[in-house]
Structure 1
Amino acid sequence: MATMRQIAAAAGVSAKTVSRVFNDDPHVLPETRERVEAIMRELDYVPNTLATSFRSGRPSVIGVAVPDIVDPFFAEIARAVERTARDHDMSTLVTSLGDDPEREREVLEPMLRRQLSGLVLAPVGEDQRPLAAWASRTPFVFVDRAPGGLTADAFTQDDFHGAFEATKHLVGHGHRRIAFIGDHLRLPTTAERLRGYRAALAESGIEEDHDLIALGADTPSRAAAALAEVLSIRDDAGAPAPATALFSSNAVCTMAILPALAGRPLPLVAFGDFPLADLMRPSVTVVVQDPESLGRLAAERIIERIQHPDRRFETRTVLPVRLLERDSCRGSV
């Protein structure tokens, strides 16, 4: 029986292209597809995924577990894992963890019992030590959020400097009463972004006002309450001292707070882009992340771990982020 490499050699293409033809990837040129499919039929090619399973001792499936598969950021991570897995004749199994850290292990263990080739995980809990037994025999790669209490590969983004630059950007527009709107400090991403916000204020000589930090703003009702809170602050003399600008720590909080901002010309910078952010009036200035790279790199690392189980790898990689200025931070103080 022919192998993928033999098909590729006969067709004059790469093994990855053969995999894409077999998986009906629409990006393969029609003439290339026809040539590869003709050779597949001629040589009676069947992908040898069973051999991969026997060699590795587990099915050729990569698990993906993220807080919410509907969230555009995590959905793009899952899509990138799926594309990379498909290029290597592997499939994916995707689940949403929800937002309750107590249920993280409960959701993950049924998936891990399937003897996955590896797991890409964006955790919701602070402590992943209960997963150590699984991680000892299944490659784990963490994305967006580094693991707590567990040594494993992780691909994260520069939360601290992204928040630092966002806050400094608002300071540069003349703002000194900048509110931080976030979800939960148990998430390392939120904690690091708050640290970056505080560092930017300190470098700018602005004294931190704890009343300007509003957490738990991950639903429209809670976001509206957080906004009302930072806009109703008074100083020690009783005079109004509201926030004049907002830094939102993630796209979920940003989308939750936008309805409450309707009709309010309050400058805003958001960590994380989101659908239609560039089409809103005003368009939303964002710290741009790269979920596609996170998912692709995580899947590639799992494949490398399978192919080279004894090789040393970098356990943590931090990807850069960048500020994309639009109109929402240009309001007047």
Structure 2
Amino acid sequence: MTTMRDVAALAGVSAKTVSRVFNNDEHVLPETRARVELAMRELSYVPNAVATTFRNGRAPVVGVVVPDLLDPFFAAVAESVNQVAVEHGMSTMVTTIGDDARQEGTLVGRLLSQSLSGLVIAPVATDNAYLARWAEKLPIVFVDRAPSGVSADAFLEDDEGGARMGVEHLLARGHRRIAFVADLSDVPTGRSRLRGYRAALSEHGIDRDETYEMFGVLDRESAADAVARLAALPEPPTAIFSSNARSTMALVPVLRRQPHAVVGFGDFPMADMVTPAMTVIDQDPALLGDHAARRVFDRLEHPKRRFRRRTVLPVRLIERESCKVAPPTQ
């Protein structure tokens, strides 16, 4: 089997330089890179991942933990992490944890037992203290949800501010009876968006109405049930703010013949093609995953840096056809 030393000998460089070329180190001179890459091709060199693991105690793999890969948001995060890992000569290993916070620690522990080089995680549990012992050994970066019980880097979106933006967009179109629809009631992002929803209404002198707040909208059936309950109220809402793309996608077929105006938090594939095209608060999950993955590799290159940073990325409103002006009788 061809080794890194064989490539180094043919190229006339050190084994360390071969490693730097393979990992796309930008500090390698172009002529040196070309010579090493030619030697790799001539010798059909493929790095031995097992040997790499034995040398530094870590596999050349970044773990990615998300609730659900069928969710376009988390799929985009995972793919973006994978692209950055490939740039650095590594692979990714993805684990989905679903919505049950009780099993998160077990599932993530199994993944981390593979001696990974780093971890990007979007947790569902509200207590992540189980990660504390791992955080001392490898870079852990949270995405979408802030860490709790452990010190770690995090990249988040402006959940509360984005929700206020969406609700204020509906208020500006004359709506005063605005419902809030979400999938889960105990997810940190959902709680922040609920605060933003309530704050926007309060600032416009609109009292909170708990009957307008619907949770458990996970699929078409639960969406139909929520819309039916809202329609049965003495004063049904004329608009809906959906807390996440999962709930919004469930609402789309149900609201096709309904008069509600809708703003959803989170863009999703075909959101501009459904009828009506959906107005959304765009989060840019690909950027979120890119930042998180690059922070993992920055930590790997500078392991002595102890300070952990929390970065909040801005969101923006994309206006489409689903925001109708409120009827004059409201």
Q: Common fold, TM-score beyond 0.5?
A: yes
1:230 maps to 230
Query: Which structure 1 residue ranges, 4+ long, deviate > 3 Å from structure 2?
Result: 34-40, 42-56
CA distance in 2, matches of 1:44, 1:177: 66
Q: How does 1:235-314 map to 2 (within 5 A)?
A: 241-314=235-308
CA distance in 2, matches of 1:266, 1:212: 13
Q: Does 1:122 align with 2:122?
A: yes
Deviation at 1:130, TM superposition (A): 2.1
Q: How does 1:25-104 map to 2 (within 5 A)?
A: 38=38, 40-42=40-42, 45-47=45-47, 52-54=52-54, 56-104=56-104
Give the conservation status (yes or no) of the 8 Å contact 1:265–1:331. no
CA distance in 2, matches of 1:42, 1:129: 49
CA distance in 1, matches of 2:280, 2:154: 24
2:155 maps to 155
Give the conservation status (yes or no) of the 8 Å contact 2:143–2:154. yes
**Partner of 2:120: helix, strand, or coil?**
strand
1:26 maps to none
CA deviation map 1:215-274 (0-9, x unaligned): 11112211111111222212xxxxxx1101000000000111122212112100000011
Give the conservation status (yes or no) of the 8 Å contact 1:245–1:266. yes
CA deviation map 1:104-157 (0-9, x unaligned): 112111111111111111101111112222222222111111122221111110
Q: How does 1:196-215 map to 2 (within 5 A)?
A: 196-215=196-215
Aligned amino acid, residue 185 of structure 1: S
Aligned amino acid, residue 204 of structure 2: S
Give the conservation status (yes or no) of the 8 Å contact 1:125–1:186. no
Using structure 2 for the length normalisation, give the TM-score.
Answer: 0.86
Deviation at 1:317, TM superposition (A): 0.6
Using structure 1 for the length normalisation, give the TM-score.
Answer: 0.85
Give the conservation status (yes or no) of the 8 Å contact 1:273–1:286. yes
Using the aligned pairs only, state the percent identity.
Answer: 50
Give the conservation status (yes or no) of the 8 Å contact 2:238–2:259. no
Aligned amino acid, residue 58 of structure 1: R
Deviation at 1:213, TM superposition (A): 0.6
> RMSD of the TM alignment (CA)?
2.4
CA deviation map 1:298-332 (0-9, x unaligned): 11111111111111444211100000000101244
**Partner of 2:73: helix, strand, or coil?**
helix
CA distance in 1, matches of 2:168, 2:252: 22
Aligned amino acid, residue 311 of structure 1: R
Aligned amino acid, residue 168 of structure 1: E
CA distance in 2, matches of 1:174, 1:322: 21
CA distance in 1, matches of 2:169, 2:113: 47
CA distance in 1, matches of 2:308, 2:130: 23
Aligned amino acid, residue 245 of structure 1: A
CA distance in 2, matches of 1:283, 1:276: 8
Give the conservation status (yes or no) of the 8 Å contact 2:163–2:194. yes
Aligned amino acid, residue 276 of structure 1: M
CA deviation map 1:35-87 (0-9, x unaligned): 98645335765547567535532111100010001211101111011100010
Q: Aligned pair in 2 of structure 1 residues 36, 271: CA closer, same or farther (>3 Å)?
A: farther
Deviation at 1:19, TM superposition (A): 5.9
**Partner of 1:62: helix, strand, or coil?**
strand
1:27 maps to none
Aligned amino acid, residue 182 of structure 1: A
Q: Aligned pair in 2 of structure 1 residues 108, 314: CA closer, same or farther (>3 Å)?
A: closer
CA distance in 1, matches of 2:173, 2:292: 38
CA distance in 1, matches of 2:277, 2:210: 28
Give the conservation status (yes or no) of the 8 Å contact 2:121–2:142. yes
CA distance in 1, matches of 2:12, 2:204: 62
Structure 1: stretches of 5+ with no match in the other structure? 9-14, 21-33, 235-240
1:166 maps to 166
Aligned amino acid, residue 323 of structure 1: L
CA distance in 2, matches of 1:260, 1:97: 28
Aligned amino acid, residue 53 of structure 2: S
CA distance in 2, matches of 1:112, 1:47: 22
**Which deviates more from structure 2 when the two are superposed, residues 244-253 or residues 145-154?**
145-154
